[in-house]
Amino acid sequence: VMSMDLSPKKPAKAYGSDGGAYYDWSPADLPMLGAASIGAAKLHLFAGGLALPSYSDSAKIAYVLQGAGACGLVLPEAASEKVIPVKEGDTLALPFGAVTWWHNAEGASAEMVVLFLGDTSKGHTPGRFTNFQLTGAAGIFTGFSTEFVARAWDLDQDAAAKIVSTQPGSGVVKIAAGHRMPEPRVEDRQGVVLNCLEAPLDVDIPGGGRVVVLNTANLPPVKDVGLGSDLVRIDGKSMCSPGFSCDSAYQVTYIVRGGGRVQVVGIDGTRVLETRAEAGCLFIVPRFFVVSKIADDTGMEWFSIITTPNPIFSHLAGRTSVWKAISPEVLETAFNTTPEMEKMFRSKRLDSEIFFGRPGLV
C-alpha cells in the first residue's frame, strides 16, 4: 500500500450510445481499487436515455449526482417492481441480486448522473464491477440457444429468436420518441431511498461544514450491502480534521463539486499523498491511514463510502480528538515538551469539532 499511487483519478468511458454512457474506474489506473476490492462507476443518461435492465456481481451504493429520473428496482425474491422517482442527492443501497434499470425522461432539461460505489470482494474482478445485461446485444439470452430460450419462455423458436435479437443496443439506449415509460411512484421511495440534501444533519458547524451519515438507522438496506456512506460539505478555506477509520475500513471518496488540498499520512509518519482534488475525481484512503482536507475558496463537497455499515472515525484535532482525552503527563512526555506548551496545545480547539473554518473567522 505504501508504494501504491493514491492520487485522485477520473473514470474512463466503458460504453455508450445516443442515450448516454457508462464510465468506470479501473484498478490498473487506481491500484487501491484492487487492493481494497472496491468498484466505482458513473452512469450518464441523456434526455430519453435508458440503462437496460441488469444485475451486478457486487453490492453497491448508488448516489444521484445530478438531474432526476426513475430507477426500476426488483429485489431478490420480490413479487413486483419498484419504480422509484429519483433526484439529485438521493442514495440507494443495492444488494446482491438486485435488478435495476434507470431512465431519464424524454423531456428532461439535464443529464441524469448516478455514481456507483461498492464492494467487489465477491465479484469476478477485484476493483471493478461486472454487470450482467438481461437484454440487448450483450444480453444474457443472446448466449443461450434458441431452443433453450424458447423452452424457458414458452415461445415458438421463431418468436424466441426474434425477441432476443431485436434490441441492437448494449447497456444504454435511447427510447423511441413518444414511447411511454412506467410512472414513478413516490410511495416506492419508502425505506429504499434517503436524500442526503434533505436529511437531518449529523454535523452542522457554522462556517465550517455539514455532514449527513448513512447507516443502518436511516437507510436499513445498508445492512444488506455492508457499506456505510456520507455526504460532506465544507465551506471555503475550511479544514476537515485529520482522522482515520478505527474499524479497519477503507474510505472511498468522490469529489462532487469544488476542490481543495488533500494530505494522507501512513505508516511511520510517511506522507503518502499530497495533492489537489477536484470535482469528478475519486481516491481511496487505506485502512488506518490519516486523511485531512482543506477546501479552496469555493468550498468542497464529497460523497464517500466506508467498507462497514456503521463506520466509526477517530479524529486527531478538535474538541472530540483523542488529545483531549489523554492525560497531560502522558502528552508532555509523548511530545517531549514543557507543561506550559502542553497546556497551550490542550487549550486550542476547545469549541471546534471535525471542521475548522477559514483562519481568522470567529
- CATH number of the domain at 307, please: 2.60.120.10
Is position 2 within any domain? no
Residues 75 and 210 in one domain: no
Do the Cβ atoms of 69 and 108 come closer than 8 Å?
yes
Looking at the fold, whether 287 and 247 belong to one and the same domain comes out as yes
> What's the CA dihedral at 60, 277, 345, 209 to 10 degrees?
-60
Residue 65 domain-assigned (yes or no) = yes
Residue 32 and residue 179 in one domain: yes
Encode pLDDT of 293-308 as tens digits.
999 999 999 999 998 8
* pLDDT for residue 350 is more than 90: no
Three-state DSSP state, 153: helix
> Is 3 within a domain?
no
Q: 142 in a domain, yes or no?
A: no
The total of structural domains in the chain comes to 2
- For residues 174 and 60, what is the distance between their CA atoms, to the nearest angstrom? 25
Give the structural domain span for 96.
Answer: 12-136+171-189
Q: Are residues 183 and 300 in the same domain?
A: no
Q: Which residues pair with 59 in a beta bridge?
A: 119
Across the chain, mean pLDDT equals 92
Please check whether residues 203 and 100 belong to one and the same domain.
no
Statement to judge: residues 235 and 345 lie in one domain: yes
d(CA 348, CA 337): 16
- Shared domain for 202 and 179, answered yes or no, is no
Taking residues 251-264, report their average pLDDT: 97
pLDDT digits 0-9 by tens, 46-55: 999 999 999 9
pLDDT score of 362: 43
Mark whether 212 and 322 lie in a shared domain. Answer: yes
- What is the rounded average pLDDT of the residues 144-153? 96
351: its cell numbers: 469549541
Domain end (from 189, 218, 253)? 189
- Which DSSP letter does residue 9 get? B
Q: Grid coordinates representing 329?
A: 503527563
44/107 same-domain check: yes
Q: Check if the beta carbon of residue 275 is closer than 8 Å to that of residue 216.
A: no
What is the structure's pLDDT at 310? 79
Q: Is residue 158 assigned to a domain?
A: no
123 located within any domain = yes
Phi, psi of 341 (to 5 degrees): -65, -40
Residue 30 lies in a domain: yes
Q: Residue 357: pLDDT above 90?
A: no
Q: Alpha helices of the chain — where are they, by DSSP H? A: 32-36, 146-153, 157-165, 222-225, 328-335, 339-347
pLDDT reading at 331 higher than 90: no
Instruction: Evaluate whether residue 180 is within a structural domain.
Output: yes
Q: Are residues 176 and 249 in the same domain?
A: no
% of the chain beyond a pLDDT of 70: 98
One domain, residues 249 and 180:
no
Predicted local confidence at residue 105, as pLDDT: 95
Residues 183 and 235 occupy one common structural domain? no
For residue 309, name the pLDDT band (cuts at 50, 70, 90).
confident
- Tell me the mean pLDDT in the region 61-67: 98
- DSSP bridge pairs for 301: 233, 257
Residues 6+ apart with CB under 8 A from 252: 36, 38, 40, 117, 282, 283, 284, 304, 305, 306, 307
